[in-house]
Amino acid sequence: MPHFASVTAGRERWGAHAAVPRHRHRDGYVALVLAGGYEECGSHGRFRVGPGDVLVHGPFEAHLDRFTAAGADIVNLSVPALGCPPLRRGRVRDADAIARLAQRDRPAAAAELVRQLYATASPSPDEPTSRVVDWPDLLAAELLRDPACRLDAWARRHGLAAATVSRGFGRTFGVTPAAFRLEARAHLAFARIVTGAQPLADVAQATGFADQAHMSRAVRALTGAPPAAWRGSNRFKTR
């Protein structure tokens, strides 16, 4: 059975240069940054966030966090009843109002956050606009776009040794690229399993698994339950 980390509901503070190893949460939630900033490397890539930024975490997603010299002041809010917003990163216009509301009514604060949330592709105020995306970010994006991506071929195209790719990606994301790719496939399969009626064998083929048994092992490792158990559950359906 996988180990799931708990989420500190409400406000939490992190000190200068704090680091949180890669971990996985069972339930979805959103993190709103009130002050300071940090880098998060997770199931959907690497994000650097500052005040007013929001990171959205879906069920069973994993990430690690590295905090800046200023540390960070964050509000974590659960949104299971509302369904996780479709964004991965966004911003809100009045973070302080949401933080004040969260002190007395967290569900209402979560609803207000979702109401305010808007997409942004631009850096946060604390993030340099000239930031260069490094090759681990390019590889993560490629693995998310195409979970069937061959790592050896990708390394050759970018003039990198396979061992360099494995070590460098692991230092950034806390997991090997092969494991990241397998998790990406498992997330795709899980989404199809809980929201559709496609036969499981077809889901396995469509998401790049060798067979249904391979998919079942990956989904169980990700969620703690096999596909058949999720097919009969509507817990994560939003419509």
What are the structural domain ranges in the chain? Answer: 10-119, 135-231
In one-letter notation, the amino acid at residue 175 is V
In three-state secondary structure terms, 26 is: coil
Termini Cα distance of the chain: 29
Asked if residue 92 has pLDDT above 90, the reply is yes
Lowest mean pLDDT among 170-174, 202-206, 229-233: 229-233
pLDDT at 239: 37
Domain 10-119, second-level architecture:
Sandwich (2.60)
* Domain 135-231, CATH: 1.10.10.60
- 122 and 49 Cβ atoms separated by less than 8 Å: no
Question: Which pLDDT band, with edges at 50, 70 and 90, does 121 fall under?
Answer: low
Q: What is the pLDDT of residues 11-54, one digit of tens each?
A: 999 999 999 999 999 998 999 999 999 999 999 999 999 999 99
Taking alpha carbons only, the member of 131, 81, 73, 123 closest to residue 98 is: 73
Distance from C-alpha of 95 to C-alpha of 49, rounded to nearest angstrom: 13
At 72, list the tokens.
């960070």
Asked if residue 131 has pLDDT above 60, the reply is no
pLDDT at 40: 96
Asked if residue 142 has pLDDT above 70, the reply is yes
Distance from C-alpha of 230 to C-alpha of 120, rounded to nearest angstrom: 33
- Phi first, then psi, for residue 238 (nearest 5°) are -110, 0
At 79, list the tokens.
């949104």
Q: What's the pTM value of the predicted model, to 2 decimals? A: 0.88
